[in-house]
Amino acid sequence: MKMRMKRSIIMFTILFWGGVTFAQSSTGASDKDKYVQIVTERSNKIVASLNLTDSVKFKKVRDIVAAQYISLNDIYDARNASRKQIKDQAGEDKAVVTAKIAEVDSNVNKQLKAQHAIYLSKLSKELNASQVDQIKDGMTYRVYPLTYAAYQDELPNLTDVQKGKIKAWLIEARENAIDAESSEKKHAWFGKFKGRINNYLSAEGYDMKKEGEEWQKRIKERNMKN
């Protein structure tokens, strides 16, 4: 189990900073069915990690997850169309265009927040809290558990208070990343909170550059032994 975790951490450092891109791209009427198929297959893989034995429940949860992807895509498609319409309007003052786009984005954020609550409510009716967390991790490439494990591996002397703060910030990042429109933007949320975590740890007395270099040496030593 420890060896598997170490390998996961090493793979995470490659994937996270490599920036895998899997966009929740815009879709037109002609390829809507294809998009539904893609997100259904993606949702199928995410829900499979729960090892549900009830096939009816499995399908229901899978469809809830797929429907969330579709709802998010619809929100972002509508936003993109509104932005384009605003930018295409001839003679508009630049400041006016900026203000209108900001209003569109503000409304989108409200829609995302409402949809987020609806989605989690539906999942919670079918799954326990731990299973809902697994779905969240599946939708965000398991960046939260891998990053949390990586911090503990990099800084083995973290206090319980420090671990608690790191965990809370990564969970907050995950909540935001769930609704992001692409893998790049999902990872960006974690990057933002990772910066906050690193600033906190620096203030706590850790030399993050030095700690990172020593961690990489330990990883290389492990690889040489395996």
- Residue 83 pLDDT more than 70? yes
Distance CA 217, CA 92 (A): 57
The pLDDT confidence band at residue 226, using thresholds 50, 70 and 90, is confident
- Between helices 129-139 and 143-154, what is the axis angle to 10°? 90
Q: 4 vs 7, 8, 151, 171, 179, CA distance in Å? A: 5, 6, 16, 23, 29
Per the CB < 8 A criterion, the answer to whether 39 and 69 are in contact is yes
First to last CA, the chain: 14
Mean pLDDT of 63-90: 94
Share of the chain above pLDDT 70, in %: 86
DSSP state of 30: G
Alpha helices in 89-207 (DSSP H): 94-126, 129-139, 143-154, 160-177, 183-203
Q: What pLDDT score was predicted for residue 90?
A: 63
Distance CA 139, CA 73 (A): 14
Q: Considering the entire predicted model, what is its pTM?
A: 0.84
Bridge partners (DSSP) of residue 23 are 182
Bridge partners (DSSP) of residue 182 are 23
Mean pLDDT of 88-101: 85
Per the CB < 8 A criterion, the answer to whether 190 and 177 are in contact is yes
